[in-house]
Amino acid sequence: HTVHWGRMLCAPRVWPDLGGPRVLGTIGILTLVLCSCSGQPVSLPWDLPAISGWEHQGGLVFIHTESSLYSLPCSPIEMEVADPTYRWVQDRAAPKLFSVTKEGHLLFQHFQAGNSGKYSCTISYVKHGVPVSQTFHYSIFGYHVLRGLDAVLLFHSKLCEDERTKRFLWVLQDKLRQLEIEQHCKLQLNATFCFPSLNNPSEEFIIQVQLEVSLFGPHWDKHCNSQDMETVTDCYCKTVWHNLGQVQLALTGFFKEHKSFHATGTDIPSVNFTNKFVGFLKTKQCSRGYGQTKQLQRCLDCCIVCPPGMFNPPRKSQCSLCPVGTYSLTYGVAFCAPCKDGMITRVLGASSMMDCVKKERTKQAVSIVQRIPVLLLIILPALLAINFLFILSSCYWFYQEYQVTSPRASKMTGSTTKMEMVTNFFRFPRQGPQAGPDAGPASDTSHLDTSASQGGDEEHTHGAPSPAMTSNLATVTDETTPVLTLEDRKDTF
């Protein structure tokens, strides 16, 4: 018996009319909240004229599948009240009778996945002449230890017909029933295949039978009677490991003893099926409708029942949301139920038939989703064409602007160069080697040579200068660089 109590939460459901001053009413409300959260019986200094009630969240409760007997108390704490009455309900539409003890404990025998759900227990009593009630809410989940066993059986037979094979399987399962009782397990024949023998294909056939072994048969947990969560969970794990080895040994001995099975009937002749092979495979797979969610901290590899809106088919390890167009109403389903014709669910994980709506309501949304690829094919080429035209127009305008501004810039550059050359020339006149003492001061001609040559080039481009300037430029260009002597410097001053 495994139970996990979450943190207890409490909130007032029905508040009495306290009367009196406003301050006194506020103190009374605070007193009720503190008492209900602490789990202590309510004791007020005055008589309450109306019924009082509180709601508590009891938390999560985990019960192992096929538990022989599980007892869930109404209140997680001991309550010393006089003549209490208990009422258990479950949040499902169909009413259900529960087995409740006089102490208010809810009893589960051979707990199944469908017993999972949300339960509430209301305890009612009288305190200081006032009727009082407290309601505790629980979320109950089934789980099982993650262990299993698969067996593969091979039988030889002269015939391979459906009627004879069905009769043989019925005989085989009937003989295995006694082994189930002795080993506290369940044996289920899952699949059967028939194919010709390699040695003699025309006259001999091989019947392959897959046998699934569940270790949670009647009274499998008879040695685990503790009420402590940790102790009982450890006991379950050890019991499963022990039963796994015992069932394997028992099946091996059974097929050594029973080598042949005869399938007979009123309308079919007797056929002999001879056992030739038995193989075992230890598995770690969740049962159908269960998945690994790690909600049970004490057993992280245990499988928890799938809640409504989810499912888990055989041989899978995780619960999955119901696909669009399906739903699941109960806990522990292997497959989700489809909506009626012409109806569909809008989202994944539907847990009610009300989630199924007519397809016309979602037709518009579906059509928009379907049109998205077409819209992209139309819009993308247009955007690319616009970008290409923008790039071409930008290049064209840049080229036009360059053509217009380039001659003006060249002309202005040439004019500026000539003006600088003339200014430098007249400011620092050049004197040839034959110049007399009246000549002006000379300067470094390295700059003038460069300016002169540039000016000469510009003259061919932009027009001919005056004759005087041409003569002077030619003289400066042809002369060598003069050296300023001391005598010339004196004449300058």
pLDDT in tens, 331-340: 999 999 999 8
Average pLDDT of 114-136?
92
C-alpha–C-alpha distance, residues 243 and 149, integer Å: 10
99-113, 117-131, 276-290, 412-426 — which is least confidently predicted? 412-426
Average pLDDT of 74-91?
89
C-alpha–C-alpha distance, residues 63 and 65, integer Å: 6
DSSP string, 452-465: HHHHHHHHHHH---
In the predicted structure, residue 411 carries a pLDDT above the cut 90: no
How confident is residue 191, by pLDDT bands cut at 50, 70 and 90? confident
How confident is residue 120, by pLDDT bands cut at 50, 70 and 90? very high
- How confident is the model over 343-380, as pLDDT tens digits? 999 889 999 989 999 876 445 555 555 566 666 778 88
How many C-beta neighbours within 10 Å does residue 257 have? Answer: 7
In the predicted structure, residue 8 carries a pLDDT above the cut 80: no
Q: What is the DSSP letter of 320?
A: E
Buried b vs exposed e over 28-39: b needs ≥16 C-beta within 10 Å? beeebeebbeeb
How confident is residue 441, by pLDDT bands cut at 50, 70 and 90? very low
- Say what percent of the chain tops pLDDT 90: 34
Q: What is the DSSP letter of 350?
A: B
Residue 238 parent element (H or E): helix 229-257
C-alpha–C-alpha distance, residues 324 and 344, integer Å: 7
Helix, strand, or coil (residue 263): strand
Name the pairing type of β-strands 130-144 and 52-64.
Answer: parallel
Question: According to DSSP H, which parts of 64-104 are helical?
Answer: none
**Average per-residue pLDDT in the chain?**
74
In the predicted structure, residue 63 carries a pLDDT above the cut 80: yes
**Which candidate, 166, 48, 63, 173, places its Cα nearest to that of 111?**
63
In the predicted structure, residue 319 carries a pLDDT above the cut 90: yes
C-alpha–C-alpha distance, residues 417 and 1, integer Å: 106
**Which candidate, 443, 435, 430, 437, places its Cα nearest to that of 487?**
437
Q: Are 83 and 42 in contact (CB under 8 A)?
A: no
How confident is residue 419, by pLDDT bands cut at 50, 70 and 90? low
- 423: tokens are 């200014």
- 376: tokens are 């992209």
Please state the pTM of the whole predicted model. Answer: 0.61
317-321, 349-353, 422-426 — which is least confidently predicted? 422-426
Beta-carbon contacts of residue 493 (< 8 Å; ≥ 6 apart)? none
Q: Which residue has the tokens 């000549």?
A: 439
Burial label, 198 (beta-carbon count in 10 A; 0-12, 13-18, 19+): exposed
C-alpha–C-alpha distance, residues 50 and 30, integer Å: 17
pLDDT at position 31 is: 40
Burial label, 166 (beta-carbon count in 10 A; 0-12, 13-18, 19+): middle
pLDDT at position 55 is: 83
pLDDT at position 454 is: 41
pLDDT at position 451 is: 37
pLDDT at position 23 is: 37
